[in-house]
Structure 1
Amino acid sequence: MNGENALIRIVDDDDDVRSALSAMLECEGFDVKSFADGESLLNDLDRERAGCVLLDVRMPGLSGPEVQAALLEKRVALPVIFLTSYAEIDVAVTTLKHGAEDFLIKPVAPDRLLTVVREALAADEKRRAASRDEAALSAALARLTERPRTVLRLMLQHLNDAAIAERLGLSERTVQVYRQQVYKAFDVHSLKAFERLAPEIEKLSGI
C-alpha cells in the first residue's frame, strides 16, 4: 500500500542521499518532497496531507531530534523515521520514546526502508481514520437535543426502554422515539451496533 495522496518528506543535508532516496521511493510510486534542513520542512508543512518524514539526525541548524520536538510542539502527528550514519543508542532511545516510527542506520537496505515506510503510512492512515471517526461521533453528539442526550446517557448505563421510561417519567413509546433519534444521529440501526460505539461515545461525551 503506497497510501493514496500520501507524501514522503525527506530531510537530509546530503544532496546525494536526498536524490537517492527520492529516486528509489518515486520508482515505487510514492510522492516525495525533499528538504535540505529541518527549518525548510517546518516552514513548508501541510499537516492535512498524509504521509511520513524521513529525518536525518545530524544536520546544520536544527538536528533531527530538534525537528521531531518542533513537530510535536506544533501537534503535527506525522510518523517520523530517523536515518543516521551513526549508531547513537542514546539518541535512538530518546527519539523512539518520543514516538519515532523507527531509527535506521545508513546505508539502509531498500527492502527494509520500504517496509518501514509502508508501516509508517499505514500507521498514519489508521490515526487519521480514528480522528475522522472521533470527529463524526462529536458531530453526532452535537446534533442531539437535550432530551435525546438524556436518554443517551441512560442508554450508556445499559438501561432498557422500560427502565429509562420509569427513570424519566415518560412512556416507553416516547423513549423508543428518542432511542431512534440517538440511533439516527450515530448512523446505527440496532442495539448491537450502538453498543460497539458506546465506549467511544462515552469517552467523548464525558457521560
Structure 2
Amino acid sequence: MGGNRVVHLVDDEEAIRKAASFALKTAGYAVLSYHSGVEFLRASKSAEVGCVLLDVRMPEMDGLEVQAAMTERGINMPVIIVTGHGDVSVAVQAMKAGAIDFLEKPFEKAALLNAISRAFARIDDANARALEATEAQVRIAALTAREKDVLEGLANGYPNKTIAYDLGCSSRTVEVHRASLMAKLGIRSLSEALRIAFAAGMGRNAQ
C-alpha cells in the first residue's frame, strides 16, 4: 500500500490521468494531477515531496525537458517516464538523466506499481543507488563477454544493426544474445535492461 504517499502525475491526456490516478489511489497513493509539464513546474516549489509520473509527449515542454528543468531547479524527486511512442533513444536519455523506469502505454498496473514502489524506496534509502549498483553488477557478472557487449550497446542507445556492425556479427546474432542476456537477468523489457546497465555504470558513451 502507498500509505498516502504522493504521486505527481503529469500527462496531457485526460484519459491516462484518470486511469493512472484510479490505479494508484486504489493502491493507497495520494495523486496530484497536472495537464502539462509547465503546470507541474509552477506548482513544484511548494509541492509535497513524492515521485513524478511524467509523460514524454506533451505540448509546450516534453517530459525530457521537464526532467532537465527539475534537475536545474534542484527538484529532487524520482521520475518515472511514460510514453506511447517509446524508442531506445528516448529511454536512454530519460534513464541516463536518472529516471527510475520507463513505461510504455498502455502499461500494466503491476509494472506501474512496481516502478512507483522503487521510486519511493529511492526516497527512503539514501544508500539505494549503491545497493542497486551492487545488485546490478552481480547480475551482469553472470553474462558472457559478448552478452555484456550487447548490453553496453543497448545502454548507449544503439539499435541492433549498429551493435552488430560494431561487434562484427549479424543482427540475428545480436537478437539471440539480447534474448539470452534478458533471460539470464530475469527481465522482459528494455527499460529493465537499461536500469540494470546504468546502475552498473554502463552506457558512458551515450549522448
Asked if these proteins are the same fold (TM beyond 0.5), I'd say: yes
**CA-to-aligned-CA distance 1:26-58 (integer Å, 9 cap, x gap):** 111100000000000001115673310000001
Give the corresponding residue for 1:89.
88
1:5–1:50 contact (8 Å) kept in structure 2: no
Residues 1:115 and 1:37: Cα distance change in structure 2 (over 3 Å): same
TM-score by length of 2: 0.58
Matches of 2:75 and 2:39 in 1, distance apart? 15
- Could you list the per-position Cα deviations for residues 89-111 of structure 1 after superposition, in whole angstroms to 9, with x for gaps in the alignment? 11110111110111111111101
Structure of higher CA gyration radius: 1
Q: Deviations over 1:151-200 (max 9, x none)?
A: xxxxxxxxxxxxxxxxxxxxxxxxxxxxxxxxxxxxxxxxxxxxxxxxxx
Aligned-pair identity (%): 40
Indicate how the Cα distance of structure 1 residues 35 and 66 shifts in structure 2: closer, same or farther if over 3 A, else same: same
1:23 and 1:51 mapped to 2: Cα distance?
A: 17
With normalisation by structure 1, the TM-score equals: 0.58
The secondary structure found in structure 2 opposite 1:103 is: strand
- Contact 1:7–1:49, Cα closer than 8 Å, also in 2: yes
Which runs of 5 or more structure 1 residues have no equivalent in the other structure? 130-207
Aligned pair count reads: 128
2:7 aligned with 1:15, yes or no?
no
Inter-CA distance 95–18: structure 2 relative to 1 (3 Å threshold): same
Consecutive aligned runs of 4 or more in structure 1 exceeding 6 Å deviation = none
After superposition, the CA RMSD in angstroms is 1.9
Return the letter of the residue paired with 1:6. R
Unaligned residue ranges in structure 2 (runs of 5+): 129-207
> Using a 3 Å threshold, how does the CA distance of structure 1 residues 46 and 121 change in structure 2: closer, same or farther?
farther
